[in-house]
Amino acid sequence: MRALFIEKMYEITKKPYQKFFKKGKAWDINVNQLIQLPNDSFGFHLGCFLLKYNFEIQPKLEDHDCIHVLTNTGITVEEEIGMQYYLYGNGKRSVYLWMVILSGTLFYPTRFSYFKQQYQRGKQAHEFYGLDFLNMLTIPIANIQQTFNIK
């Protein structure tokens, strides 16, 4: 029930968030183009992630899935909350991040040790959440993860 409530909150807030808070242009790329990239590339891994979960590229929200791929974070509600803790540890600050962290902590207090672990992982990584991921799609994913100490 908790997960359904949080998923509905996401669905309700996604469109206004895309429209009013996300700046920049949507990527002009599709999943088929991503999986054509070299097998070790970040873009190929992003394409595989999208295919695995039957996701489409969300205009202006592409970075979110990029962070899933780089941090090897799953897509359950708890993992989504954990990823926001990771980003908080990495230095990101946004209204959306605070909404997820606050609601996630309230709805999943027994998972706080997991959230704290994700926060610590984010602190250990070099700041990467603001990178231009579109221009990094051909770079081997292992190089990006090593350079930014993403574990």
Write down the mean pLDDT value for the chain: 90
Structure tokens at 37: 């990239």
pLDDT at 13: 62
**Which one, of 27, 46, 28, lies nearest residue 37 by Cα?**
46
Mean pLDDT of 27-47: 97
Only one residue has tokens 């949080």, namely 6
57-60 long-range contacts, CB within 8 A, separation 24+? 57/27, 57/29, 57/30, 57/31, 58/14, 58/18, 59/18, 59/26, 59/27, 60/18, 60/22, 60/24, 60/25, 60/26
Single pTM value for the model: 0.86
pLDDT at 25: 85
User: Model confidence over 94-116: pLDDT tens digits?
Assistant: 988 999 999 999 999 999 999 99
The residues, ordered by sequence, that sit 6+ positions from 77 with a Cβ below 8 Å of its Cβ are 2, 3, 6, 7, 104, 108
**Which one, of 23, 104, 37, 103, lies nearest residue 69 by Cα?**
37
The span from the CA of 31 to the CA of 51, in Å, is 8
What band does 125 get if pLDDT is binned at 50, 70 and 90?
very high
User: Model confidence over 46-77: pLDDT tens digits?
Assistant: 999 999 999 999 888 899 999 999 999 999 99
Structure tokens at 2: 């908790």
pLDDT at 38: 98
pLDDT at 43: 98
The span from the CA of 63 to the CA of 130, in Å, is 9
